[in-house]
Amino acid sequence: MIFRREKSPQERDALERLGRPTIGRHQPDSPADPSLPRFAVAATDDLGDAALGMLEQSPGRARLALADALSASQPVTSRDRFAGRQDVLGALIAAIEQQRAHVVLYGERGIGKTSLVHVFAETAREAHYLVLYGSCGVEARFDDMFRTFASEIPLLYHSGVSPTADEGEHNRSFADLLDPGHVDPRELADLFQKIVGTRVLLVLDEYDRVSDPAFRRNVAELIKNLSDRAARVQLVLTGVASNLDELIGFTPSIRRNIVGLAVGPMAEPELREILRRAEDATGLLFAPDARSLIIRMSGGSPYFARLLGNRAAGRALDEKRQTVGEADVIAGTEAVLAEWNAGLPRRVQVILQRAEVRAAWNVLIAASRASGTPDGWFGVHDVAAEAGSPDIKGITRTLDGLTGEIDLFDRESADGAPEPRYRFRTQGVAQLLGLSAALARAGR
């Protein structure tokens, strides 16, 4: 579980001391070997928004600005890098402000849930909401998470504490009023009911990763109790799921207190905006055909738009060109595929080359799309739907042929289940298949 929080004065001091550039002032005894790779820009430099023309003046900076503008490995945390999503952001604000509901944001992996929730948090803080962010891990425990949330709510917001309270009260938090042993959702709701002078939003990101059923039961119980008491605390849950039930389970008691919002694929103009913002930040230009190709291959995913845009632009920078062309996009995508393939276990790489596997390529691609569930398991009917084929028997035969000796899939037949379910055995295979299909679709 990661919590975003302010640093303590001690931590700030320590960081400042660390930041003092004693190493930078050190003069090397012998001249550095010019052939060794170096950093382009000092870590202490503030890049700001790179201006047009940076490319000629400082290619190193342009490269860093590119990494900054189109990094695919990190969520966007500020509005100046955030493209599109007006509709869902508007709906989220309305659900919180007008409906006073708890909200569940769900969508496929990498579609932009965490980025959306960060930008929403920034917007809510401007409106003086107290927004607390927690990222759930597999091991997340209800007690720990909500105790930490409570520790970030100053006791001055408690209806029983006067705003003119003495110094001692200023340093205390709601956590000080919690049972030191066990955090009970009903008691927590009672405590949160005492909040005055602000509204609190508790963001539970990556909620799909929570494996403890007690955590989920407690969250449902908390939502019910907070709603019944009209407390000034609202929860925002996000997670990988294709529908609301998949993420929160079927809990009729809290259904009317929850607004579910789907974070779907980004529309073409939104993906275009991602690339345009990168152009502004780096001074590079995407040629129209390069831009269209990236957008087509992205299939609505901001992750893919950034990844492919970044790799294509990197190739243009390598050759000191300002314009990113279609050939850069293709070469960049092929390089990503080669890297992903090299990252797979050797045995899996060999399996993917086998004739029987190549013959099953269409089913594999459909399976890769069907595997975007929170736990990666899918059924034959999911694959058939993705493949647009009614041939259930044929698809079952193909999937079964890829378990066992060719062990691309795990297969499981639960007691009483009408059909077996499958899962890719090796992480990364589904993503590799998805991107190679996108490249093939783009006409290469």
Ligand X SMILES: Nc1ncnc2c1ncn2[C@@H]1O[C@H](COP(=O)(O)OP(=O)(O)OP(=O)(O)O)[C@@H](O)[C@H]1O
- Name the nearest CA neighbour of 244 among 35, 84, 103: 103
How far apart (Å, rounded) are the C-alpha atoms in residues 185 and 188? Answer: 5
Q: Which residues ranging from 84 to 113 are in contact with ligand X (CB under 6 A)?
A: 84-85, 109-113
Residue facing ligand X at closest CB distance:
112
For ligand X, the closer of residues 234 and 238 by Cβ is: 238
Closest separation in Å from C-beta 114 to Mg ion: 3
Answer whether 357's CB lies under 8 Å from 402's CB: yes
Closest separation in Å from C-beta 214 to ligand X: 23
For ligand X, the closer of residues 112 and 376 by Cβ is: 112
Binding ligand X (rule: CB under 6 A), the pick from 130, 219, 222, 274 is: 274
Q: Which partner, ligand X, Mg ion, none, binds residue 283 by CB below 5 to 8 Å per kind?
A: none
Binding ligand X (rule: CB under 6 A), the pick from 82, 106, 142, 157 is: 82
Closest separation in Å from C-beta 330 to ligand X: 21
Closest separation in Å from C-beta 246 to ligand X: 13
For ligand X, the closer of residues 110 and 325 by Cβ is: 110
Closest separation in Å from C-beta 219 to ligand X: 18
How far apart (Å, rounded) are the C-alpha atoms in residues 326 and 373? Answer: 32
63 binds ligand X, rule: CB under 6 A: no
For Mg ion, the closer of residues 114 and 371 by Cβ is: 114
Q: Which residue has the tokens 């609202």?
A: 234
Burial category of 230 from C-beta neighbours within 10 Å (exposed 0-12, middle 13-18, buried 19 and up): exposed
Burial category of 292 from C-beta neighbours within 10 Å (exposed 0-12, middle 13-18, buried 19 and up): middle
Residue facing Mg ion at closest CB distance:
114
Q: Which partner, Mg ion, ligand X, none, binds residue 178 by CB below 5 to 8 Å per kind?
A: none
For Mg ion, the closer of residues 333 and 371 by Cβ is: 371
237 binds ligand X, rule: CB under 6 A: no
217 binds ligand X, rule: CB under 6 A: no
Binding segment for ligand X (CB under 6 A), chosen from 16-24, 67-75, 355-363, 398-406, is 67-75
Binding segment for Mg ion (CB under 5 A), chosen from 106-114, 193-201, 246-254, 424-432, is 106-114
Closest separation in Å from C-beta 303 to ligand X: 4
Q: Which partner, Mg ion, ligand X, none, binds residue 112 by CB below 5 to 8 Å per kind?
A: ligand X
114 binds Mg ion, rule: CB under 5 A: yes
115 binds ligand X, rule: CB under 6 A: yes
Binding segment for Mg ion (CB under 5 A), chosen from 20-28, 111-119, 156-164, 334-342, is 111-119
Name 311's Cβ contacts closer than 8 Å, sequence gap at least 6: 332, 333, 335, 336
Closest separation in Å from C-beta 149 to ligand X: 20
How far apart (Å, rounded) are the C-alpha atoms in residues 214 and 232? Answer: 24
Size of the site for Mg ion (CB under 5 A): 1
Binding ligand X (rule: CB under 6 A), the pick from 55, 64, 69, 76 is: 76
Buried b (16+ CB within 10 A) or exposed e, 54-93: bbeeeeebbbbbbbbbbebeebbeeeebbbbbeebbeebe
Would you tell me which residues interact with Mg ion (CB under 5 A)?
114
Would you tell me which residues interact with ligand X (CB under 6 A)?
72, 74-76, 82-85, 109-115, 206, 240, 274, 302-303, 306
